[in-house]
Structure 1
Amino acid sequence: MDDATRTELEAAAFRTLQKHLMEKRTDVQNIDLMNLAGFCRNCLSRWMQEAAAERGIEMGKEEARELFYGMPYGDWKAQQPEANDSQKEAFKTAFEENVGKG
């Protein structure tokens, strides 16, 4: 398989993941994803931002989030239920282990 085809397949898989998270599994909160898988929708948007930066494309955090979420992040977040205390506690560990103290 050539690199262009591999890149197209990877992009298609990413779009499918994005659609799955944004349309089919809106019930799964970011905190749940982070606690179980070590990444969430915000991580995916950050990875898009980092990929843009590697290519010399300026993209801010909010722009990357809006690109991933398909709406302003604040609009998405307003639709989500508040995390409970056990989710928040687990998140502290998951975030530190997977994202860092930054």
Structure 2
Amino acid sequence: MDPQTQTDIEAAAFRRLLEHLDNRKDVQNIDLMDLAGFCRNCLSRWYQEAAEQRGVAMDKEAAREVVYKMPYDEWKEKHQTPR
């Protein structure tokens, strides 16, 4: 497999993961951390780090908006359950 095809497949899998997480707003970040060892915030941090490694300036809130598909504070208000 050539590198571009691999990158395309990885990008498609990442988009599918984001779609899956978006469809499972009932699953809280703490649940993800307990079961998988990462959460939406981890994923957004990894996204931010990858962008910065490639010379793309991105702050934490912009990266979170990619993962949450809305501003983080809005997502918390709408979907985060009290513990």
TM-score range, shorter chain: over 0.9
Residue 44 of structure 1 corresponds to which residue in structure 2? 43
What's the CA shift for 1:16?
0.4
Q: How many residues align?
A: 82
Query: 2:61 aligns to what?
Result: 62
Structure 2 Cα separation of the partners of residues 81 and 67 of structure 1: 21
The aligned amino acid for 2:74 is D
Q: Matched residue of 1:56: which SS? A: coil
What is the rounded CA distance, in whole Å, between the counterparts of 2:47 and 2:17 in structure 1?
14
Secondary structure of residue in 2 paired with 1:28: coil
Q: Matches of 1:37 and 1:19 in 2, distance apart?
A: 17
Runs of 4+ aligned residues of structure 1 deviating over 3 Å after TM superposition are none
Identity %: 65
Instruction: Give the Å deviation of 1:70.
Output: 1.1
The RMSD of aligned alpha carbons is 0.8
Question: Shift of residue 29 of structure 1?
Answer: 0.2
What amino acid maps onto 2:19 in structure 1? K
Larger radius of gyration: 1
Q: Which residue of 2 aligns with 1:10?
A: 10
TM-score by length of 2: 0.94
